[in-house]
Amino acid sequence: MDAWLAHFVVRGTNLPPLEAISNILWQIWKGRNNFTFRGSKPNACNIVDLARFQQKSFEKWSVQRTQARTTGENDSPQIWVPPAVGTLKINVDGSLSEDSTEGAIACVVRDHTGALVDGFTRSVRAVFTAQLETLALLEALKYIQRMRLKAVSLETDHQNLVRSLNTTEVFNWEARALLAACKDLLANLQLVGLDFCSRTANSIADWAARKHRKKSLPPNWVSFPPPALWALLCIDAPVLGTVGTTPAMI
């Protein structure tokens, strides 16, 4: 393998970036292991698509993290941080169409290993992003109450929303009724914490909301994450890529 790769590197003709080659080889190795130890037959197209997506994700998020470091935006984690053992982390986000009130919200539930435990998306209507983000948080709080969850860490990438719910400040008057409903639920959910996170750390909720709005989100995305989602999960929690299979490839 080394001699073969070195031969093409030296030639340097029509060669993709080495990062792309390493991603493809990594996915081939994982596919081989899944077949050897689990009997899961690999799909060549899925392997290549997943490698390409991981490369694009790495390029995208590495640029954003570099920009955050150079601009001093370090008041929140730039990567997803798993919750404590016995605690669930719920990330929420929304996606709003340009020049339209049609939007979508997403709620993503993960455990301390980074594994996807549950989640949901919903179509909503909103005029402002503030309304959309508050709606997403409100639906997550209703979900926590309905499921009778105890220890939960809630995260959103809307800093003004977090500030408003932790103080008496109202960041958007159009969303004040929604804010009041969120505050009432938070007051009754004693073991639920709310924190601000960066957009990078909220990438999966963002992905799910955008896919739902564009009507391209598979209905079984929680049970069988598609390759694009699996790649994001493995970026947030690399251990998933070593102990599990990609559900969409089974």
Distance (Å, whole) CA 187 – CA 142: 13
Calpha distance 94→124 (Å, rounded): 9
Q: Is 168 found in the same domain as 110? A: yes
Is the same domain home to 67 and 116? no
Q: Is the pLDDT of residue 12 over 60?
A: no
Q: Which residue has the higher pLDDT, 233 or 41?
A: 233
Q: Do 99 and 208 reside in the same domain of the chain?
A: yes
Q: Which domain holds residue 23?
A: 2-71
Would you say the pTM of this structure is higher than 0.85?
Answer: no
Residue 20: closest CA among 46, 58, 64: 58
- Do residues 40 and 122 share a domain? no
Q: Which of 87, 62, 63, 77 is nearest to 196 (CA)?
A: 77
Q: Are residues 122 and 26 in the same domain?
A: no
State the CATH number of the domain containing residue 112: 3.30.420.10
Which of these ranges, 51-55, 129-133, 148-152, 208-212, has the smallest mean pLDDT? 51-55
CB neighbours of 55 closer than 8 A, spacing ≥ 6? Answer: 17, 19, 20, 23
Residue 175's closest CA among 214, 124, 209?
124
Per-residue CA distances from 61 to 51, 155, 201 (Å) = 15, 19, 10
Residue 195 lies in a domain: yes
Q: How many domains does the chain have?
A: 2
Q: In this predicted model, what pLDDT tens digit does every residue of 89-125 receive, in sequence order?
A: 999 999 998 888 999 999 999 999 999 999 999 999 9
